[in-house]
Amino acid sequence: MPRAPKPTAVVALCGGVGGAKLADGLARVIRSDELTIVVNTGDDFRHLGLWISPDIDSVLYALAGLSDPVRGWGRRDETWSFMAALRQLQGPGWFQLGDADLATHVERTYRLAQGESLSAVTARFAHVLGILARVLPMSDDPVSTQLLTDEGWLEFQDYFVHRQCRPRLERIEFRDAETARAQPAAVAALRREDLRAIVICPSNPFVSIEPILAIPAFRDALRERRVPAIAVTPIIGGRAVKGPAAKMLSELGLEVSGLSVARRYAGLIDAFVLDHTDPPAVPVPGITVSHVPTLMQSLEDREQLAHAVLALADALR
Amino acid sequence: MPRAPKPTAVVALCGGVGGAKLADGLARVIRSDELTIVVNTGDDFRHLGLWISPDIDSVLYALAGLSDPVRGWGRRDETWSFMAALRQLQGPGWFQLGDADLATHVERTYRLAQGESLSAVTARFAHVLGILARVLPMSDDPVSTQLLTDEGWLEFQDYFVHRQCRPRLERIEFRDAETARAQPAAVAALRREDLRAIVICPSNPFVSIEPILAIPAFRDALRERRVPAIAVTPIIGGRAVKGPAAKMLSELGLEVSGLSVARRYAGLIDAFVLDHTDPPAVPVPGITVSHVPTLMQSLEDREQLAHAVLALADALR
């Protein structure tokens, strides 16, 4: 009688910096070729003619060990001659492009213009950077996160970078998500026979994870999952570790807590990881809540959180 | 009776580095808003999706005091993080793009894609860099220098940078030059009532000056000139100061000397400036030959050569 394959594969859904850290942790504690990382592309945009995929780059740089540890975004050992010269030419200075980071954008834009898909370019970059995990944009079709604010509709980067999240958020839409084709390899990974766990990384629920879930095939695959799905809080002690998640929760009339995030994933996850410093949680129906250290400052922190998440998944089988 | 306007305006035709130095010298010794610089665009090409205009950039950087004095091309105080990262991504490494220089290419490419003309972008860059002289691409229409070599037809940058001028040259063509529209402001400048001199800068005749002259309106304007036209040798002591001019002369079966260059401009110039270290010249019909120091190592050298050229023009009136 054939045995079911041992569940070894992991799929992580993630956005930018925080999510990329846990994705890196997972890549460090399992055989990294068993890991599929599905990355939000709702923030992607064109700037100065260059196609910029901020979350994909955060994941690539994190897994390649190239992330800047202080700034929290972009590449380590970065230089800034381009921006200085661009300002001299009175070009747009609101979006910071590091000199080395530019190589990613220029080469990606060039390859896309040659007809390569975003997933093919991403796979190529991952390969040359020595990344064994599979890094997949959620879709090769453009999906655009749009924010309705008290200043009207804004594109994500306009809200996030240009206006530094100052406008008050009223509503979010993911343009073209309903018709975008989910990355086939990502959907297949979510339905693998040997799947061990689905991990929703500690990313902003509104603008990093929900754009992925807005694509029907991903929402369906999570609803129909046959393995534990675990989400990790991006909120610790009532604050976002990074970015506007807490401000967004508040402006949308939700409690600023990890549990508010957990509730948004109802029906899609089996367990939610709160930070160990957070108080005991009120129960959320259908979701097991666990407390573990979630702040990732060192590589060891990333690995420990990855271990904890996978142990929780295994315990839920 | 109205007096004719005092001849104060100067038009310079030029290519890259050497030509840009004399253009800068001219800008320093006349009222720089009286100077019109018509720049070769036959070397322009698209690389990694970026529109690169090497000769325009050499002129802009020279006149803005931004040129690298040692390397001879590109910007001073340049950094190279982009190229290092591009190599890491296994992108093309044969064409060196400095980090600050990239701002010029990215911003230009973006503006061209928005529908601005090359002349409008060039004027904008000149303005923000504090350049008062008028810097004009020879045409807003693409003209492409093509070289027939013993390895077949090559684009200019492929020959010049990628193969470092190694292939043996047989013939040169300027694709689309006959139908390109000469820059109207450049043609108008050549026909101004108050024109004092036309200067052909010490640039490679084959690939820097002749692309300009291949556009009929420029050839005609020089033939029909009513003021002295002076060319300056790019060859000193049988060698090109920079670049492949000497190798090209030799491979095309011409004597490697300034006079060979002078003969190519027959009918279009009134005087030719040889370097003061070169021997007395055999006469060239219709061309006055003068010997002055032409090697420009310092800013003072540029100014002295500019003064000498203008004095020669004034003497020929």
- The runs of H, that is alpha helices, within B64-183 are 81-88, 99-113, 118-128, 156-157
Name the residue among A82, A91, A107 with its Cβ closest to that of B48: A107
Burial of A9 (0-12, 13-18, 19+ CB in 10 A): buried
Give the nearest chain A residue to B48 (CA atoms). A110
State yes or no: pLDDT of B4 exceeds 70: no
State yes or no: pLDDT of A290 exceeds 60: yes
Chain B residues whose beta carbon lies within 8 Å of the beta carbon of residue A90? 128
Q: How far apart are CA B20 and CA B61, in angstroms?
A: 9
Q: How far apart are CA A158 and CA A147, in angstroms?
A: 10
Name the residue among A79, A82, A107 with its Cβ closest to that of B91: A107
For residue B209, the tally of other CB atoms under 10 A from its CB is: 28
State yes or no: pLDDT of A278 exceeds 80: yes
CA terminus-to-terminus distance, chain A: 22
Q: How far apart are CA B41 and CA B108, in angstroms?
A: 14
Strands B9-14 and B35-39 turn out to be: parallel
Q: How far apart are CA B207 and CA B63, in angstroms?
A: 22
Q: How far apart are CA A46 and CA A105, in angstroms?
A: 10
Burial of A185 (0-12, 13-18, 19+ CB in 10 A): middle
Decide if A85 and B101 are in contact by the 8 Å CB cutoff. Answer: yes
Q: By the CB < 8 Å criterion, does A89 face chain B?
A: yes
Helix axes B118-128, B54-63, angle to 10 degrees: 20
Q: Which residues pair with B175 in a beta bridge?
A: B144
Q: Which of B285, B235, B246 is CA-nearest to residue B263?
A: B285
User: What is the set of domains in chain B, with CATH numbers?
Assistant: 9-316 (3.40.50.10680)
Mean pLDDT of A233-255: 93
Q: Which of B24, B8, B67 is CA-nearest to residue B202?
A: B24
State yes or no: pLDDT of A112 exceeds 90: yes
For residue A172, the tally of other CB atoms under 10 A from its CB is: 20
pLDDT digits (tens, 9 = 90+) for B72-93: 889 999 999 999 999 999 999 9
Q: Say what the pLDDT of residue B283 is.
A: 85
Burial of A316 (0-12, 13-18, 19+ CB in 10 A): middle
Decide if B49 and A103 are in contact by the 8 Å CB cutoff. Answer: no
User: Hey, what's the torsion of the CAs at B277, B282, B288, B294, to 10 degrees?
Assistant: -20
**A148, amino acid identity:** L
Tokens at B263, concatenated: 């003969």
State yes or no: pLDDT of A3 exceeds 90: no
Decide if B85 and A75 are in contact by the 8 Å CB cutoff. Answer: yes
Decide if B106 and A81 are in contact by the 8 Å CB cutoff. Answer: no
Coil, helix or strand at residue B297: coil
Phi, psi of A14 (to 5 degrees): -155, 160
The DSSP letter of residue B181 is P
State yes or no: pLDDT of B1 exceeds 60: no
pLDDT digits (tens, 9 = 90+) for B298-316: 999 999 999 999 999 999 9
Tokens at B244, concatenated: 């492949």
The DSSP letter of residue B135 is E
CA terminus-to-terminus distance, chain B: 22
Decide if B102 and A107 are in contact by the 8 Å CB cutoff. Answer: no
Chain A residues whose beta carbon lies within 8 Å of the beta carbon of residue B131? none
Best probe of the B interface among A53, A106, A124, A125, by most B CBs < 10 A, is: A106
Give the nearest chain B residue to A99 (CA atoms). B82
Give the nearest chain B residue to A77 (CA atoms). B81
Q: Which residue has the tokens 């930070």?
A: A275
pTM of the prediction? 0.94
- Largest Cα separation within chain A, whole Å, is 72
Q: Say what the pLDDT of residue B71 is.
A: 87
Contact in structure between B111 and A51 (CB atoms under 8 Å):
no
State yes or no: pLDDT of A251 exceeds 90: yes
Task: List B residues 181-210 in contact with A (Cβ-Cβ < 8 A).
Answer: none
Q: By the CB < 8 Å criterion, does A88 face chain B?
A: yes
Q: Where are the beta strands (DSSP E) in chain A?
A: 9-14, 35-39, 45-47, 50-52, 134-137, 144-149, 152-155, 169-175, 195-200, 229-232, 235-236, 239-240, 271-275, 288-292
Task: List A residues 101-130 in contact with B (Cβ-Cβ < 8 A).
Answer: 101-104, 106-107, 109-110, 113, 125, 128-129
Contact in structure between B149 and B169 (CB atoms under 8 Å):
yes
CA angle B197, B198, B201 (to 5 degrees): 125
Decide if B107 and A48 are in contact by the 8 Å CB cutoff. Answer: yes
Chain A residues whose beta carbon lies within 8 Å of the beta carbon of residue B113? 49
Tokens at B308, concatenated: 């000498």
Identify the band that residue B69 occupies on the pLDDT scale cut at 50, 70 and 90. Answer: confident
Coil, helix or strand at residue B111: helix
ipTM for the whole complex: 0.93
Calculate the average pLDDT of chain B.
95
Q: Where are the beta strands (DSSP E) in B169-242?
A: 169-175, 195-200, 229-232, 235-236, 239-240
pLDDT digits (tens, 9 = 90+) for A180-199: 999 999 999 999 999 999 99
Contact in structure between A103 and A1 (CB atoms under 8 Å):
no
